[in-house]
Amino acid sequence: MNKIFYVCSYGGSGSYMLCGALNRYGKTKHIHSRKPPDNLEYIGNEKGGKVYCEWFNSIVIPENELENYYVIYIYRNPSLSIPSRLLINMVIKIIKCI
């Protein structure tokens, strides 16, 4: 069985670190979303989708494929994520200056 992990969050919550850890168990995809769709969907340009690679694309995954998918939602207080985002942007600007 080919496992596919969807790790969904809005950033600054450790989701990329979790994706890295899950890579040894299957294919991992990071999704910037706090709101799950009514039915599980593909992301990005999969199956003809035309959205950003980390968004659900409105194309529903067929029921016979769902057994391969594992979905993890990470919720965090958004006010705690802001410093993480600011720090990342600051580090990128410093690196560009060097």
- Residue in the structure block whose two tokens are 């199956």: 47
DSSP string, 48-91: G--S-TTSEEEEEPPGGGGGGEEEEE----HHHHHHHHHHHHHH
The pTM (predicted TM-score) of the whole model is 0.73
80 contacts: CB under 8 Å, gap ≥ 6: 12
User: What's the domain count of the chain?
Assistant: 1
The range of the structural domain enclosing residue 39 comes to 4-97
Tell me which DSSP letter residue 45 carries.
Answer: T
* pLDDT tens series, the chain, 98 aa: 589 999 988 766 778 888 899 999 999 999 987 678 899 999 999 999 998 888 999 999 999 999 999 999 887 666 666 666 565 555 555 555 55
Other CB atoms within 10 A of residue 63 CB:
9
